[in-house]
Structure 1
Amino acid sequence: MTTDLQKLHNIWLETRAHQNTDYPMIGFDNLTNAVISTGPFYYYVIDFYDMSLSHVNGDIEGIHGLDPAVVTFNDILLTIHPDDVDFVANAESFINRFFRERIATEKLLSYKMNYSFRSRMKNGEYVLLNHQAIMLSIDTDGRSGKSLNIHTRIDHMSSLNTRKISLIGLNGEPSFLNMSLPEKALASFSKREIQILKLIAEGLSNSEIAEKLFIATITVKKHRQNILEKTDCKNITQLINQCTLQGLI
């Protein structure tokens, strides 16, 4: 397994269910018809407990050239463009953190995850796919069980990946649309910077933050500057807006 794919697996290993989970009997064709984008598509159910696949739609063969009877999750992951694997890993990590910090456990099954990436077709060409996923089951600790994943060709609509993530609320839940993913910022915030970021969002001044954290005011100023540089934000207002969308605060 490549290093990039191992990064993806590590994310799911951290959040997968600790025991096998069941889901209600559903009509997958009816469900996918309600959520897919316009274009050729296929779907499958991934069980994060053991990374096994079920209900693999036969159209995966026409799109990727993969036999639905024997295809594995790694086979599908290997179709992702090498330059997009890191984005997919960061998107999955972001979604897991957003759900953990912003969405109540009992609401997790009422969201559709959505983002796009380039993927290799049967003829070897890379085109833009839209990835949609709906969690079908979670374990008693709220960890990922089974998920319905739907991949739709959207290259007839666009060849440019906006690298936006949307979490679409179902059953009346609120949606979080077109969220940006500044990958370097997500990867490089220290624990202290997160503390300071949250206190900034609460409206505390540098001196108030310094007093609360028992550090020097000049240290707080340095952390603020580092945070702005890491996020490419011009001011605190832009910083707070961006980090709120990402679920960091």
Structure 2
Amino acid sequence: MNGVLGDLLPLALGVAISPVPIIATILMLLAPQARGTSIDFLVGWVAGIVVATTIFTVIASTAGLDDGSDDSSTTSAWIKLVLGVLLLLVAVRQWGRRPKPGEEAALPKWMAAIDSFTFVKALGLGFLLSAVNPKNLLMCVAAGTAIGGADLSTGEAVVSVAVFTVIAASTVALPVLGFLVAHERLRHPLDELRTWLQANNVAVMSVLVLVIGVVLLGQGIGGL
């Protein structure tokens, strides 16, 4: 199980250090309905990670990737290779979209409407960003493949999904929970963090996805 957790750590960090959901969280915390929308966003974010990872864990397990045979090991290695290549392509595409010096980074148009988000919209947005967003979905696919492709008991698989979820959701959970406790103290630091992430979100995500893509490529090559 320790080996699986080691494989999950970089993938969980890849989901956690995603600038767009962190920016969305901060904007919700600075909005009039901060408490309600931010909590719902967190619930949706966690649910998306759990659902996506669990689905691909079950798929990998039922596909026989955990039977310990040479064929299953080779299949798992090829899956990691494909995911690694896809992440590298995403990183290159992201890097090509980085703003030029002196140019303001473009952010999704929906962010301008966050102030008026209802609780349901916040919940749905959290789920979509974690379970449907291509970059995070690839991380969840890789995590599910690692868990389902290992020879784990049901309890160990559940613990693995839980550990992955806790780490992956931490960068959204910590600001939300911290804001509930000390919202006035956190307003200024959160606003500064939002400004920095808006300016650097493309570069941060490109480098992060590149590193994880290389890790998966290495694991895939090593498994062939």
- TM category, shorter: under 0.3
| Structure that is richer in helix per residue | 2
- Specify the structure having the higher radius of gyration (Cα): 1
More strand by share: 1
Give the TM-score taking structure 1 as reference length. 0.22
By relative contact order (CA 8 Å, sep 6+), the higher-ranking structure is: 2
